[in-house]
Amino acid sequence: MIYGVDVFTFHDVLEICKKPNKAKLNKAAKEQILKSQRNVQKIVESDRCVYGINTGFGPLCDTKISADETAQLQYNLIISHAVGVGKPIEKELSKIMMIAKVHALSKGFSGVSLEVIERMILMLEKDIIPVVPEQGSVGASGDLAPLAHLVLPLLGLGQVWEGDKVSNTMEVLEKHNLEALVLGPKEGLGLINGTQFILAHAIKGLEKFEYLLDLADVTAAMSIEAYRGSASPFKKELHEIRPFAGSKKVAARMLKFLKGSENMQAHEDCERVQDPYSMRCVPQVHGASRNSFEHLKGMAETELNSVTDNPIVLSAEESISGGNFHGQLMALPLDYATLAAAELGNISDRRSYLLLEGKYGLPRLLTESSGLNSGFMIPQYTSAALVTENKTLCFPASADSIPTSLGQEDHVSMGSISGRKFNQVLGNLVNILSVELMFAAQGLEFRRPAKCSKLIEENYTILRSKVAKLEDDRLIGQDMLAIAELINERKFVVN
């Protein structure tokens, strides 16, 4: 993969995270970068006043800076904007930010030098990853504070991850015989303008969301097996006359997952007319969330392959001060995806509740000795709490805007908050699905000797390798954590 030349997918970025040598600069990419750098130098040598190159920033855009003060201007820009607070984001998120930033800068419209870009690539290869606080970005002019922290180590400042521990940047640079860099004209601005913090959260969230969408379908199928629900709501004919892509895909998956099930055969002659919505409407609800995933994926990959700093240098004669750094284009789909992920948890909790009611041959609370034992009563409390927490996280951050920079930046996206909330909801969804999986597996115990479909039996075996059938009350919380670990490690078969 070639930085600045190839079109990256979000999967490409995740692959580069694991193997930084997978991406490089080729001759064409280097020429793009050098050409942009030369254009900036020509502007500096001219008498023209160009924002961000020989002027101050934000509300100070009308203050001209002399050529002798250029390096100090860039240095001051970085250190003054590194004001993030809160816990550090995950190391992987910082790596994604770096990869996305290198890719954008390498397109040759930012004026950042080849030396700086090559240093960032070297840091990725040597696993010298900047420590970035999670709070402080309003999502325009991009992610100023997080990106300032991301590039502090180029100046020998700030902290970096050294393996799993945090170290002082200069100590680590000295170990690798590296010196701090001095930034040239516009480089500081090119480095900290952009949406890479928002984008990194979108990419990381997409990775989680993709698997959890698949797992939610499998989990629903296991619950339907345990409930001895009907497979008829998943028939192709029903979804061809309301042909949303997401619901068609989910319906086909549900039919596949339930094919050959003896539990489905047992349902054929029962007196039930229809199942509750949380069973019957899986294609419509899960499908809507899949549509949201596809929307976010398309938007994130457009952003990934875009130039999002400011100003954009087109030539030595023309630079444009615009708004490509504005995060609204990502904030809205992230808020949409947050709601979509929360809904997967919402409907999962309803299926869990149905399995506890003691209907259609299942014992109340999924235990044969309730009274003395609480059975699975209380895990549903946890599920309900997480579902409600997710609902509170669904308020769209993009609906808010607070003016900054003395009113120069009078509408901001808050997309960084959208990205963080999205990943919080996904984290809660893991635990909600772990509860449903635990209940569904217990429900299947009361359907034996009937066999499930092949895929459901396979996942039942995976779950039982960590969590035994519940006979009498025990530390069920440990079981929930074990199932959540199986989810996070992607042990369940979802296709």
Q: What is the CB-side half-sphere exposure of residue 304 using CA atoms within 13 A? A: 27
Q: Which of 3, 51, 227, 336 is catalytic?
A: 51
Q: Please state, in angstroms and rounded to a whole number, the distance separating the CA atoms of residues 456 and 221.
A: 8
Residue 51 is among the residues annotated as catalytic for this protein: yes
Of 445, 455, 415, 110, nearest to 259 by C-alpha is 455
| Residues paired with residue 373 on neighbouring β-strands, in sequence order | 370
Six-digit token pair at 78?
């970085």
d(CA 255, CA 221): 9
Tokens linked to 201: 């959260």
As a whole number of angstroms, the distance between CA 194 and CA 105 comes to 10
To the nearest 10°, report the CA torsion of 15, 11, 221, 476.
Answer: 50
Active site residues: 51
